Structure 1
């Protein structure tokens, strides 16, 4: 086997409640426009025929509690609070029962977004990568195993900036359920342990600035937090 020219960083490992071992981050899939109110505030309609996705690099993911600088190239940096689900078993072309069994756990996550770049590229019908896949732009809280939390139902999901509530909804408002997402996505990918799926953000997204602090919470899960420092 050919030896590498240089080492790559080890994968990010997310702590798991009640476990000594953590969950290594492999691929990150994100569901777009999975709350009708959020789609409306973005000036678009929900595609109810099927979910759609974008991806984020695992190398750009960080753990909750991180402080990071305001990112370059943007003047409109947005928070998006989301439920993350972690895959715990290989699954391909899943049935709803298989999809449910493949879920290892759940956690709170932030999908940070350079909104001005996302919208600019969307208007030109170009990929969103500059807007979405940015360094330290995906933040994960510790995971809770699925059996320790229970099924996704009407749990509250909310986010505060410097203590002021900005997003506030329930998981019952998800357009596509977690099982439906796994069934659909596994028709295109062989999903495997290490894969994380961010299931979409509710209404109330908005800008955040240097020296501000965000905390996102879902009932029964560990909260996720991020602090912004001055731009480098």
Structure 2
């Protein structure tokens, strides 16, 4: 079979401690999975059915310890959201974990919400899913607790714990599987703690999760 365009390769995440890479198939994201974040966004953190959205693989920007991302078009209010990222391997079981930043064009998201429209233009763009290297689960064990932080230009903005998730990783995977089968190569952004905020060109976001290598993102 011949194609009218050259085939492209999927984005790939480095695997810590090896020379191998993890190819990304799909990016699933959980909306509002920490109570305090729900409150800061004006919601009520009752334990209800979780809500999901997705990003295309094109949105992934990866690095081992750091990555630079271009400030995106069509926004004057770009926000950061640090998250635990789960990478699914063979049989769609957990392969490992990483640190991610879910970037959001908050002004476009607000407009979409008011109009009752999808958030695609606010959540899905080049660099919208920054992801660190992946540490295999054999190294970390199951990650159900641990401090998660983001510092903007050295000032801590987000400081939570994975055990504050309303839905843990196993529950998230169960719900996602109910909509469409999870597949090897899928990654899941599991939600963000309170403290999200705006960033500008030149800002550096230093992210940590206990048990994982640190990760830094610079906007250029």
Task: Please report the TM-score for the alignment, with normalisation by the length of structure 2.
Answer: 0.95
Q: Which residue of 1 aligns with 2:104?
A: 113
Superposition map of 1:196-211 within 5 A: 196-211=187-202
Distance 1:198 1:169 in 2: 15
Structure 1 runs (4+) deviating above 3 angstroms are none
1:128 pairs with 2:119: yes
Contact residue 139 and residue 224 of structure 1 kept, 8 A: no
Q: What's the RMSD between the two structures over aligned residues? A: 1.3
Deviation of residue 47 (structure 1)? Answer: 5.4
Q: Which residue of 1 aligns with 2:95?
A: 104
Q: CA shift at 1:10, angstroms?
A: 1.2
Aligned partner of 1:183 in structure 2 is 174
User: What does 1:59-208 align with in structure 2 at a 5 Å threshold?
Assistant: 59-64=58-63, 65-91=66-92, 102-208=93-199
Q: Deviations over 1:14-45 (max 9, x none)?
A: 11112221100110000000001101111122
Count of equivalent residues: 218
CA distance in 2, matches of 1:167, 1:8: 39
Spell out, residue by residue over 1:99-121, the C-alpha distance to the aligned partner (whole angstroms, 9 max, x if none).
xxx11101100101101111110
Deviation of the 1:12 alpha carbon: 1.1
| 2-structure distance, mates of 1:4, 1:198 | 33
Distance 1:69 1:197 in 2: 23
Q: Structure 2: any 5+ residue segments left out of the alignment?
A: none
Distance (Å, rounded) in 2 between the aligned partners of 1:50 and 1:108: 24
